[in-house]
Amino acid sequence: MRLGLFGGTFNPVHNGHVRMAVEAREALGLDRVEFVLAARPPHKAAVGILPFEVRWRLLSLALCGLEGLTPSLFEQQLDGPSYTVRTLEAFRERLPGAELWFVCGTTDLVSMDKWMRGRDIPGLAHLAVLPRPGADVEAARGFVAAFWPEAAAEGGDVWRLPGGGLIRLLDAPLLDISATMVRGRLQQGRSLACLVPQRVEETLRTLPRRVLQNWLGR
C-alpha cells in the first residue's frame, strides 16, 4: 500500500489543502491520502484554534465524496503533543509494510529545522513537497542541500538519503489560500466561495457565537 499522510491543524481546512492532496495522490500513485488532524498542536495556543470536534466535522465535510482522500483521527489516539515525528513513528509501527509519504508544503519543508527531530522525518516517510506561498522552489532546494547534505540528487527535484528515504518536490498549481485568509474574510463577513468547500462555509457560518468569539477574537 502506498499511503500519503497530510498532517495539519486545518483551522479551517480550505481548498488549497484539498488540492495539494489531490496533486500528491495523482503524482505519486498513492492508494489514498489521509488528512491527519492535529489533536494537540504543540506550538499553538487553544485560543484561536477551533475545537478538535469542529475541525474534524469540517474536514469530514470537505473530503466527503472525494476519491482517495480521507480524514484521520489517528493523532487523537496518541498521548502528548501532536509532533509529526511521533505520529510517523506510530504509523510505521502499525503499518510496517506500507510505503508512507508525508505530504507537506514548501513552507513546512523550510521550517523543519525547527521541528522536533525534523532531520529524522525522511527516514520515517518519504517527503512529498508541494508549492505554498512563502517559500519558492529555489528556497526548498537550498534547504534540502543545507539540512540534509548527505542526500544525493537523483534529478528532477528528487533526492535520496543514505537510508533510502526520498525527498521529492512536486510540480503543482500554487493556490494562494491560507487559513489566516479564510478567517479574516469570515471575520469581515465576506464570501468564502472558492476558498473553502461550500459545505465548510455553510457550517462555519452556523457555529455558536462563543466558538466564533474564541476562534476569531470577536
Please say whether the beta carbons of 178 and 15 come within 8 A. no
What is the pTM (predicted TM-score) of this model?
Answer: 0.95
Distances (CA, A) of 160 to 126, 149, 184, 193: 9, 11, 40, 40
The total domain count for the chain is 1
Q: Which domain holds residue 128?
A: 2-216
pLDDT digits over 39-72, tens only? 888 766 556 899 999 999 999 999 999 999 999 9
Q: What is the CATH number of the domain that holds 113?
A: 3.40.50.620
pLDDT digits (tens, 9 = 90+) for 134-163: 999 999 999 999 999 999 999 899 999 999
Give the residue ranges of DSSP H helices in the chain. 15-28, 52-63, 84-94, 106-109, 121-124, 137-147, 179-187, 198-204, 209-216
Q: CA 7 to CA 113: how far, in whole Å?
A: 17
Q: Alpha-carbon distance 62 to 201, whole Å? A: 10
Q: Which helix (H) or strand (E) holds 133?
A: none
